[in-house]
């Protein structure tokens, strides 16, 4: 009991001063991010190897986005994030890396030509979604799913303006789509029309085509 109480006290006793750090991260983000509009945020696994199909596909989609007058935002780390920044930078676009300080995996990649560093996940997530005109979701893990479903929730509840949420690689995402149809919709946990918030494609060209058709900048 005493140990648990100590942990709680330790986590909360500096909350008042922590607010200044939170405010500083918001201010820096609000100052920098409008300069990258219009931008598409790309999510995916931090564990994708540079020789993998996912990495190369992400490079391609980032390059196509820049060639079609969009900038690119990623989490600023390795894997898919690095591929997104690399493709955008090499195509001459603004390549934004929103780096988060983590004990494992997350180190900033060298391809982000606009970089912000965050301590707090929730502030970083605000920047991802506030300054994006679309989301491109590559195969990934818990973090990728977190960003995907947060965007869908915010769009579904009309807390943000609707924008394209595009998943690339139907083989990878088919199980999730099937579960949404056979479980969530069947159990009426969501409406059938909510599935329309998602697009499932297999190529970067299809993804960019949807964005260009849907997004007015």
Domains of the chain: 2-214 (3.40.50.450)
Integer Cα distance of 94 and 112 in angstroms: 8
* pLDDT < 50 positions in the chain: 1, 4, 6, 8
- Provide the pLDDT for residue 15: 76
Strand (E) positions, 48-109? 71-74, 95-100
Integer Cα distance of 181 and 173 in angstroms: 13
Integer Cα distance of 185 and 193 in angstroms: 9
Q: Which residues are CB-neighbours of 16 under 8 A, at least 6 positions away? A: none
- Provide the pLDDT for residue 18: 85
- Provide the pLDDT for residue 6: 45
Integer Cα distance of 85 and 116 in angstroms: 13
Tokens 């929103």, residue? Answer: 98
């Amino acid at each position: 009991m005493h140990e648990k109480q100590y942990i709680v006290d330790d986590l909360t006793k500096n909350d008042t001063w922590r607010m200044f750090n939170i405010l500083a991260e918001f201010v820096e983000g609000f100052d920098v991010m409008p300069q990258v509009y219009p931008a598409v945020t790309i999510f995916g696994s931090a564990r994708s190897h540079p020789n993998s199909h996912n990495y190369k596909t992400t490079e391609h989609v980032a390059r196509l986005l820049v060639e079609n007058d969009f900038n690119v935002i990623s989490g600023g780390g390795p894997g898919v994030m690095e591929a997104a920044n690399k493709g955008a930078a090499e195509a001459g676009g603004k390549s934004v890396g929103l780096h988060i300080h983590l004990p494992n995996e997350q180190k900033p990649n060298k391809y982000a030509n606009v970089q912000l560093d965050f301590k707090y996940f929730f502030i970083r997530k605000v920047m991802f979604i506030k300054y994006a005109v679309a989301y491109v979701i590559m195969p990934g893990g818990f973090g990728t799913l977190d960003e995907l479903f947060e965007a869908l929730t915010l769009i579904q509840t009309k807390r943000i303006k609707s924008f394209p949420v595009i998943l690339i690689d139907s083989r990878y995402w088919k199980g999730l789509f099937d579960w949404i149809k056979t479980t969530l919709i069947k159990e009426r946990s969501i409406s059938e029309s909510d599935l329309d918030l998602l697009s499932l494609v297999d190529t970067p060209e299809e993804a960019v085509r949807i964005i260009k058709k849907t997004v007015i900048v």
